[in-house]
Amino acid sequence: MKTNYYITKDGVLRRKENTVYFIDKTEQRALPIQKIYAIYAYGNLSFTSGVVSYLAKNGVPIHFFNSYGFYEGSLYPRETLVSGDATIKQAEHYLDGERRSILAKLFVEGAAKNILRNLNYYSKDTNSLTSYIEKIEHELGQLPGYTTIPQIMSVEGHIRDFYYSALDCIFPAEFQIGERVKRPPNNKTNTLLSFGNSLMYATVLSEIYNTQLNPTISFLHEPFERRFSLSLDVAEIFKPIIVDRVIFKLINKNMLDETDFSGDIGNMLLSESGRKKFLQEYHERLSRTIEHKGLGREVSYQRLIRLELYKLVKHVLGTQKYKPLVMWW
């Protein structure tokens, strides 16, 4: 199994002795090139051109994030899995309004069902969640009647609003979300959500790179220029499974303290220690395995993302209808 590396410090990345070295004032770390799946860079990194071409040659993408933890861009190796057929079919599904809305609805449905799984888990302890669960189920029930993308997006927005209000019933006062505010996030949980969601987009992008799909052609989100919006679509399904659960764990187990955040209310950031804690949990969750019913073997959560994309490929090629992943465990 290849593994992700997350670099939170400032330093230099260089090629040495046929592998990759991370070097800063205090340490020299050799990363085994054959075991690197992707690099997530949060610090200020300097590169040598040697390391860039070596990573590209070995198919390793590097994802960059700014000090807010927002996704900035990726250094992405040359595409090796290109299929004109798949790209044309994928674009066809975007251009045909009906086929596009089918996919868009499925993404929202998958996301909502996973959100409900999360809430149902907590509703065992707190009865106050029941009304929110009903509201989300009601919204979900409306979905089949809608056909336009703005309508579908608004369902998604409402579900998220209800979800976050429901979470405020569980979270301690310090971690109330209130309203979801981005760019910059204004409180602790919003900071965690922004950080985690950006990370999720990059993780999905790494997986898209390993399939024939074109990351710029999306269905639920608009394929704006200069954005890999397909990863936003697919991330919707995985945010409740991966990011939200990391946040639940960090908050409910009291793993975060004041030193893990920096900045004032209204302009909150994760500090270096906070980023490390988050990345540690995130990494652990991606590597966690579950028994897959269809495949009859253990697969990691990261692998589930790839399997989801394969289902999407099959859907656009018309061999098998796409059904979003809903947690069965």
Partner 1 sequence: MYVIVVYDVNVDRVNKVRIFLKQYLNWVQNSVFEGELTKSELSIVEHAVQELINQSEDSVRIYVLRSDKYLEMIEVGTSKVDVSEII
Residues that bind partner 1 (CB under 8 A): 1, 3-9, 17-19, 22, 27, 29-30, 32-35, 276, 279-280, 283
CB of 9 to partner 1, least distance (A): 6
In the bound state with partner 1, the residue whose beta carbon lies nearer, of 8 and 151, is 8
Q: Which is nearer to partner 1, 43 or 184 (CB)?
A: 43
Nearer residue to partner 1 within complex by CB, 159 or 279: 279
Nearest-angstrom CA–CA distance, 138 and 250: 30
d(CA 323, CA 117): 17
Comparing CB distances to partner 1, the nearer of 40 and 164 is: 40
Closest to 206 in 3D by CA, of 286, 115, 111: 286
- Which C-beta is closer to partner 1: that of 1 or that of 265? 1
Q: Which amino acid is at 304?
A: L
| 201: enclosing H helix or E strand | helix 188-209
Phi, psi angle pair for 205, to nearest 5°: -60, -40
C-beta of 16 vs 321, nearer to partner 1: 16
Residue given tokens 């260089």 in the structure block = 14
Give the whole-angstrom CA distance, residue 180 versus residue 203: 22
One-letter amino acid for residue 143 of the chain: L
CB atoms under 10 Å from CB of 189, counted, come to 23
Least distance to partner 1, CB of residue 53, Å: 16
Q: Which helix (H) or strand (E) holds 294?
A: none
Smallest gap from Cβ 279 to partner 1, in A, equals 5
Q: How far is the CB of 59 from partner 1 (least distance, A)?
A: 14
Nearest CA among 176, 173, 169, 170 for reference residue 192: 176
**Widest pairwise Cα distance in the chain:** 60
Residue length of the chain = 329
Per the CB < 8 A criterion, the answer to whether 90 and 134 are in contact is: no
Please state the closest distance from residue 280 (CB atom) to partner 1, in A.
5
Nearest-approach distance from CB 46 to partner 1, in angstroms: 14
